[in-house]
């Protein structure tokens, strides 16, 4: 059923749920494991957890951990369930027959489909190793008081194992995307197939419930990428060159989340409610009682009524300086016009940030000053790096997802500075 973007699937009554992710006032850092020195788990992942603790941080946010596409994009994953073998610190670690059998039994819903898709029976051992290494890192982080925020893309790749194993759930005649707007006159065309939500619903949302179950096995909290797509989504006939000829279709709404929570319990979710957001999208987020997002750099690109302006931030929210799709703070500042710089300076003075700090660090402090309970900054912005450290530029193919820390680049000096700012704005955790 088409949806013109003003309304969507059922979002629930006016009475909101209790908050499923009760955030304390805290702070964290966004760093994908590919950006660790060496680009893998192992010793550098543990060192990063130790650095987070020294810096007073409570959260480590990562991007999707599934096998990326040929361009290394984690948002065009080849599986909604499998972990990427490229993360392994010890890709040759022994796997016993008992461990492989246990893994296959516990992950029976998806693992055989993935192994068949890869075409190599040794892939089962890869998944056992991934679970072993990632679980050890997560357990270590949790023991040290750091929780992991994961990322759940709405869509999967057209060439994914999921489409191959469950073709009836996907509409291959449509490509997902976003409508034309001020940032893109032709819209965005992502190429992912959309869902046949009527069939997904007829099957009791089993594929989605198992997907949430898997995410809960990997993360302490889950960011729902493109949250507005659960209400209504923009889709274009497959094969078109731009997104202009698309239209809105109705998503599953609250029904999906009701079914998932009935089986799995409360879900610790964060809604990425950015982009073309309608009252129906806000209504679903509020009905679920989950935090949405604010982005500090966008506070200076819109009107004073923008939800990203500091004065308009919600307490039940996560505030970001920027995202993996935006330039770094220093890179962005190098290109902003004088009028925007003036607005940033006025906000810095209003909040009371020392005028001796670097302009990019002032943006870090503005982010931490928000009333939103959780603040997340990218590791690149803690270091004050320029556009060369940008993670992704939407609409481009080459040169993305490549930035990586040098050994020791995040050191004691950066930890002390971030801890001081975190304490100044009432977000610091106790040492452990």
Cα atoms in the Cβ-side hemisphere of radius 13 Å centred on 152? 28
Asked whether residue 310 carries a pLDDT value surpassing 70, the answer given is yes
Please tell me the total number of residues recorded for the chain in this structure. 432
Instruction: Please give the torsion angle defined by the CA atoms of residues 196, 199, 200 and 201, in that order, rounded to the nearest 10 degrees.
Output: 120
Query: How far is 249 from 232, CA to CA, in rounded Å?
Result: 5
DSSP one-letter string for 8-36? -S----SSPPPPSS---SEEEEE--GGGS
Asked whether residue 220 carries a pLDDT value surpassing 70, the answer given is yes
Cα atoms in the Cβ-side hemisphere of radius 13 Å centred on 283? 16
**Which pTM was predicted?**
0.92
Q: Give burial (CB, 10 Å; 0-12/13-18/19+) of 368.
A: buried
Confidence label for 3 from pLDDT (cuts 50, 70 and 90): very low
Which segment of 20-29, 71-80, 221-230, 277-286 scores lowest on mean pLDDT?
Answer: 20-29
On whether the CB atoms of residues 295 and 274 are closer than 8 A, the answer is: yes
**Cα–Cα distance list, 190 to 57, 164, 193, 338, 396 (Å):** 34, 19, 9, 34, 11
Coil, helix or strand at residue 48: helix
Confidence label for 16 from pLDDT (cuts 50, 70 and 90): very low
Phi-psi label, residue 42: left if phi above 0, alpha if psi -120 to 50, beta otherwise: left
Phi, psi of 323 (to 5 degrees): -120, 180
On whether the CB atoms of residues 372 and 398 are closer than 8 A, the answer is: no
Q: Which residues are catalytic?
A: 225, 272, 325
Contacts of residue 161, defined as CB under 8 A and 6 or more positions apart, other chains included, come to 78, 79, 82, 110, 113, 114, 116, 117, 118
Contacts of residue 210, defined as CB under 8 A and 6 or more positions apart, other chains included, come to 81, 109, 110
Query: 97-140, pLDDT tens digit by residue?
Result: 999 999 999 999 999 999 999 999 999 999 999 999 999 999 99
Q: Does domain 26-424 correspond to CATH entry 3.20.20.80?
A: yes
Per-domain residue ranges of the chain: 26-424
Q: In this predicted structure, what is the pLDDT of residue 69? A: 86
Q: What secondary structure letter does DSSP report for 67?
A: P
Task: Tell me the average pLDDT across 332-339.
Answer: 91
Instruction: Please give the torsion angle defined by the CA atoms of residues 371, 373, 376 and 377, in that order, rounded to the nearest 10 degrees.
Output: 30
């Amino acid at each position: 059923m088409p949806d013109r973007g003003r309304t969507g699937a059922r979002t629930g009554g006016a009475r909101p749920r209790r908050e499923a992710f009760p955030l304390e006032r805290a702070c964290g850092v966004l760093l994908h494991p590919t950006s660790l020195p060496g680009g893998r788990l192992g010793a550098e992942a543990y060192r990063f957890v130790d650095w987070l603790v020294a810096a007073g941080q409570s959260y480590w946010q990562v991007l999707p951990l599934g096998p990326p596409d040929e361009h290394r994009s984690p948002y065009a994953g080849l599986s909604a369930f499998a972990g990427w073998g490229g993360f392994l610190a010890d890709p040759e670690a022994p796997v016993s027959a008992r461990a492989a059998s246990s893994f296959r039994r516990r992950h029976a819903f998806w693992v055989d489909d993935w192994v068949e898709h890869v075409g190599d029976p040794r892939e089962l051992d890869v998944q056992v190793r991934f679970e072993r290494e990632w679980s050890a890192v997560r357990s270590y982080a949790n023991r040290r008081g750091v929780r992991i925020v994961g990322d759940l893309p709405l869509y999967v790749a057209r060439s994914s194992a999921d489409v191959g194993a469950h073709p009836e759930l996907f509409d291959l005649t449509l490509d997902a995307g976003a409508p034309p707007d001020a940032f893109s006159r032709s819209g965005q065309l992502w190429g992912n197939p959309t869902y046949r939500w009527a069939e997904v619903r007829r099957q009791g949302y089993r594929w989605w419930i198992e997907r949430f179950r898997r995410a809960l096995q990997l993360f302490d909290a889950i960011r729902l990428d493109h949250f507005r797509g659960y209400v209504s989504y923009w889709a274009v006939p497959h094969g078109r060159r731009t997104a202009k000829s698309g239209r809105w279709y109705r998503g599953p709404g609250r029904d999906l989340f009701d079914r998932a929570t009935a089986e799995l319990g409360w879900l610790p979710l964060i809604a990425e409610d950015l982009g073309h957001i309608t009252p129906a999208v806000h209504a679903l987020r509020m009905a679920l009682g989950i935090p949405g997002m604010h982005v500090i750099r966008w506070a200076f690109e819109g009107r004073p009524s923008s939800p990203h302006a500091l004065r308009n931030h919600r307490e039940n929210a996560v505030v970001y300086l920027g995202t993996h799709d935006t330039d770094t703070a220093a890179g962005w500042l190098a290109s902003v016009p004088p009028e925007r710089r003036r607005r940033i300076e006025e906000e810095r003075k209003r909040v009371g940030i020392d005028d001796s700090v670097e302009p990019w660090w002032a943006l870090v402090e503005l982010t931490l000053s928000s009333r939103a309970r959780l603040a997340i900054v990218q590791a690149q912005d803690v270091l004050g790096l320029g556009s060369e450290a940008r993670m992704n530029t939407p609409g481009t193919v080459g040169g993305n997802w490549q930035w990586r820390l040098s050994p020791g680049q995040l050191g004691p000096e950066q930890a002390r500075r971030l801890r001081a700012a975190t304490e100044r704005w009432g977000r610091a955790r106790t040492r452990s």
